[in-house]
Amino acid sequence: MYDGGKILTGLILGVVLLTFPFWYNLGRAAKMPEPELTAKAKQAKYCVEPKSYMKAYHMDLLNKWRDEVVRGGSRIYVGFKAKEYDMSLQNTCLKCHENKKKFCDECHNFADVKPYCWECHLEPKEAKGEK
Ligand code: HEC
Ligand code: HEC
Ligand code: HEC
């Protein structure tokens, strides 16, 4: 009457399916984001400021840039190694980090932050199908 083997298989399958979202997400949560550098960024070798600063404070730098531009001051920012940059999200940051999805978003999705900047600022046009 009862097929022990089938019941057991069914039970195991049930447990696996029920807990699937749990362990599937565990695997994903453990994976640290790996922001990709474009060929252009690699060629530049360094960012506007040293990497450790950029990693932790890029949002503060962007706020500073916005404030200075909007207050009508100079648009020139002197960064790391005295290199000069035009203070622009679109024309500077995203000209070098053109792969927003694989760079900015890679971290932001992981950290669950959604900068609202793109309601007004243009995102780079990335190749269709690229995520
Ligand atoms: C001229 C090219 C260039 C420009 C312009 C540029 N970056 Fe970068 N960025 C780089 C490079 C190259 C690195 C990697 C630096 C390293 O490894 O030392 C980097 C690193 C970073 C990192 C750290 C990534 C990590 O893996 O931790 C962040 C965040 C970042 N940039 C954001 C920005 C923002 C925001 C702007 C505009 C304010 C900007 N970048 C402008 C080339 C650029
Ligand atoms: C190395 C990972 C990493 C990369 C690469 C990165 N970000 Fe971020 N970004 C973060 C984290 C983490 C936060 C949230 C920090 C916090 O809340 O204190 C953040 C926050 C921000 C914020 C503030 C959002 C808010 O709502 O407060 C802006 C704006 C921003 N990032 C812009 C950018 C742009 C533009 C790029 C690509 C050029 C970029 N970031 C690349 C990790 C990254
Ligand atoms: C409601 C629309 C709006 C939103 C949302 C917005 N901005 Fe802006 N931003 C502007 C306008 C308008 C200017 C002025 C442009 C100019 O004078 O060149 C500006 C200028 C800037 C500048 C300096 C000039 C430039 O070309 O980039 C920076 C940097 C900047 N914003 C960063 C940000 C960041 C970072 C966010 C998200 C955290 C953001 N903005 C969200 C409208 C917006």
Shortest-distance atom of ligand 3 to CA 68: 23
CA of 39 to the centre of ligand 2 (A): 21
Distance 22 CA to ligand 2 centre (A): 27
> How many degrees, rounded to 5, is the angle at CA 40 between CA 63 and CA 94?
30
For 56, list phi and psi in degrees, rounded to 5.
-90, -30
Distance (Å, whole) CA 40 – CA 30: 29
Give yes or no for a contact between 123 and 100, defined as CB atoms under 8 angstroms apart.
yes
- Which ligand approaches the C-alpha of residue 111 most closely? 2
Task: Say how many Å lie between the CA of residue 62 and the centre of ligand 3.
Answer: 9
Distance, CA of 68 to CA of 130 (rounded, Å)? 34
- Mean pLDDT score, 22-33: 62
pLDDT band at 48 (very low <50, low <70, confident <90, very high): very high
Instruction: Determine the average pLDDT of the residues in 34-63.
Output: 97
Q: Which residues contact 93 (CB under 8 A, 6 or more apart)?
A: 48, 62
What's the pLDDT band for 74 if we cut at 50, 70, 90? Answer: confident
